[in-house]
Amino acid sequence: MSWSYALRRIGMFVAVVFLAITINFIVPRMAPGDPTAAVLEQLLSRGQQVEGAADIVANYRARFGLDDPLLLQYGRYVWNTLHFDLGYSISYFPQKVESALLQALPWTLALLLTATAVAFVLGSVLGALIAWPRSSRLVRSLAPFLMVLSAIPYYLLALILLYVFAVWTKLFPLGGAASSQSALTFSITSAIDVLHHAFLPALSIVLAGLGFWALGMRGAMINVLGEDYLALAEAKGLRPQRIFFAYAMRNALLPQITSLAIALGTVASGSVLVEVAFNYPGIGYVLYNALRSSDYFLIQGVAFFLVLTVAVAVLLLELAYPLIDPRIER
C-alpha cells in the first residue's frame, strides 16, 4: 500500500471527525441565547429530579468558559471531545455521556455489523445469480421484487415486521434485547433469548439492505459478463461454478465494496431508527431517551458516536481496498 494513498484516507478521516466536532460546537451557539441558558432552563424545569444540578452547571460553566475568547472555547471543546470527555448526561445522571454510550455500543455494533454483513453477502450472491444467464427462471424473476424491497426504508419495514411477527402472531417479543437484561449469563438459554430478541431487528436491516446490494451486484455482474476473459474461460472448458465464483463474481464484487463504504452512513442512520422501533438497547435507544428528556449533550454525544463509528468503518474499508484491488491506489 502506498503511503500517499493511506495518508489521504487518514486525512479524510480526520476531516470527518473535526467536521463533526465543529458542528457540535457551532450549532448550539447559532441558536438564540447562550449555550448554558438552555441547560440551565432544562435543569430549572426539572429541578427536583436532578440531583447534583449545581455540579452539572459548574461543570458546563467551566467547560464552556463563557468569558474566554471563542477560539479558546473551541480548542478546549476539541481537546475534551478527542479525550472522550463528552460531559454529564442529564437523563442518565450521574453517568457521563461517554459511559452511557459505551454501554450501548456493543449492542448496536453486534446488531449492525451482523445484519449488514448478512445483507451484503446474501444480496451480492442473489444479485450475481439474477444476472447469471444459467440461473433458473425463479431466481431471475426475483429482480422486480427486490427492487420494490430496496425502496422501503428500514424503519417502515421494521414497523410492519413488528406488527406481523410480534403483535399479530406473537412469534417474537415486542422489543428489548433480552427477557431480563440483568439476568443474562453465559448460558445457552441466555444466548437463545438474546438471539430471539435480536431476530426481528436484524431481519428488518437484512431485508431492507438485501435489495440494494442485489441490484448493485446485478449491474456490476452484467458489465463483467460482457468481458472477453469470460468467453475465454468458457472456451477453456472451465466448470460453470468456477467461472461464476472465481471469474465473474470476484471481479463484480469490487464496486460493491466501494458502495459499501458510501452506504454505511445511511445504513447506520436507518438501523438507529430500527433500534428505536424495537426498544433495542443500543445507541438508538439512548438517543430516544435523550430526546424524550431533551438531554442535549447526550444527543450531541450520539451524533458524534455515529459519525465516529461510520468514519472508522469507512477508513478500515478504504485501507483494505488496495489489498483487494491494487488498481485503486492512485
Partner 1 sequence: MHSILRAAGALLAFVGGSPKLIVSVLVLALLFSFGSVGSALVDTELAQPISVKTNQPPSMQHLLGTDSGGRDVLAVMVVGTPQTLRMGVLAGLIGVVFGVLLGLVSGFFGGPADRVISAVTDTMLTIPPLAILLVVAASVRAVSVDMMAVIIALLSWMNPARTIRAQVLSLRELPYVQMARVSGLGNFRIMLGELLPNVIPLAFASFVGAVSGAILSGMALEVLGLGPQNTPTLGMTIYWALLYAAFARGMWWWWGPPVLILILLFIALFLMSAALDEVANPRLRQRS
- Interacting residue ranges for partner 1, rule: CB under 8 A: 12, 15-16, 19-20, 23-24, 27-28, 30-31, 38, 143, 147-148, 150-153, 155-156, 159-160, 162-163, 167, 174, 219, 222, 261-262, 264-266, 268-269, 272-273, 276-277, 287-288, 291-292, 294, 296, 299-300, 302-304, 306-307, 310-311, 314
In the complex, least distance from residue 94 CB atom to partner 1, rounded to whole angstroms: 22
Judged by beta carbon, residue 134 or residue 236, the one nearer partner 1 is 134
Judged by beta carbon, residue 179 or residue 190, the one nearer partner 1 is 179
Judged by beta carbon, residue 148 or residue 183, the one nearer partner 1 is 148
In the complex, least distance from residue 237 CB atom to partner 1, rounded to whole angstroms: 28
Distance (Å) of CA 180 to CA 107, 109, 177, 190: 15, 20, 8, 9
Judged by beta carbon, residue 251 or residue 293, the one nearer partner 1 is 293
In whole angstroms, what is the distance from residue 259 CA to residue 127 CA?
Answer: 14
In the complex, least distance from residue 276 CB atom to partner 1, rounded to whole angstroms: 7
Judged by beta carbon, residue 112 or residue 178, the one nearer partner 1 is 112
User: Which positions ≥6 away from 92 have C-beta within 8 Å?
Assistant: 100, 289, 295, 298
In the complex, least distance from residue 236 CB atom to partner 1, rounded to whole angstroms: 27
In the complex, least distance from residue 189 CB atom to partner 1, rounded to whole angstroms: 26
Distance (Å) of CA 211 to CA 204, 218, 248, 258, 275: 12, 10, 20, 17, 21
Judged by beta carbon, residue 199 or residue 288, the one nearer partner 1 is 288
Q: Give yes or no for a contact between 101 and 87, defined as CB atoms under 8 angstroms apart.
A: no
Q: Where are the alpha helices (DSSP H) in the chain?
A: 3-30, 35-45, 53-64, 70-82, 97-131, 137-140, 143-151, 154-161, 188-225, 228-235, 240-242, 250-278, 283-292, 296-324
Distance (Å) of CA 96 to CA 45, 90, 93, 100, 309: 21, 9, 7, 6, 19
In the complex, least distance from residue 69 CB atom to partner 1, rounded to whole angstroms: 22
Judged by beta carbon, residue 152 or residue 328, the one nearer partner 1 is 152
Angle, vertex CA 77, rays to CA 72 and CA 80, nearest 5: 125
In the complex, least distance from residue 214 CB atom to partner 1, rounded to whole angstroms: 13
